[in-house]
Amino acid sequence: MAGIASPIGVFDSGVGGISVLAALERTLPMEDFVYFGDTLHAPYGTKPEAEVLGYVREVMSHLMVRDVKAVVIACNTATSVAAARLREELTLPIIGMEPALKPAAEHRRGGAILVLATPMTLRLPKFQALYARYGEGAEPLPCPGLMDLVEQEDFAQAESYLQKLLQPYDLRQVDAVVLGCTHYVFLRPVLRRLLPDNTLILDGNAGTARQLARVLSKRKLLREAGAGSITLETSGSADAVLPQMRRLLALARTLETGEASFLPQTL
């Protein structure tokens, strides 16, 4: 039975959730994490809902064998499709993601909010409900194929993609850009070059890490001492994917630190 010393499971459709893993590690450095990237079935964001749910159940079965004490769904699409169902079926904490539209709305200065996400994330009821509450001035921008460029670490092509995506907008009138896919966090340096200095770039990673800490503390599952660890796993080719995961984890650790100066202290 899972206890305080048990690991925390983290998963995504590919390597994008590594950006969330870095935030979790930063907030809870004493915890052990098992990260599973379902790269064999990536991307989730362009697949039918039922297919995504099937893949999520397979990943959950894999993580449950690891005796995890909580699971973080480090994917906006998988959260929208599966989080509610998993919470009904399981007793362990299930922590999901959502686009950071609420903090973007709180810091809006009358300009636009651009929400970048996969087509499925924007289409599902979870985002529609969020948009209904905090969507004033916000424009959802589906980004098919952008996740794949991050998976391929093709940041030059991703920059071209984003330039075309943003070209119709007067960026001086954009207050915030919301990264509604965990893969897009790796494009922060690109977006920082493309956007005015006073445009916020927001994601849900830090908020997800804080929520995990709160839930573990409430359930008395928080590990308060010791050095944590990270185990990386994939459904794809370990020889190809694991080195990539290690590279992106190193990058994500620098992004977590480097972007903090652009965010209001109240977030």
> Catalytic residue positions?
75, 181
User: How long, in residues, is the chain?
Assistant: 267
Phi, psi of 233 (to 5 degrees): -135, 160
226: left (phi over 0), alpha (psi -120 to 50) or beta: left
How far is the first Cα of the chain from the last one, in angstroms, to the nearest whole number? 36
Identify residue 266 by its one-letter amino acid code: T
**Number of neighbours of residue 225 by Cβ within 10 angstroms:** 5
The first and second tokens of residue 12, run together, are 């995504």
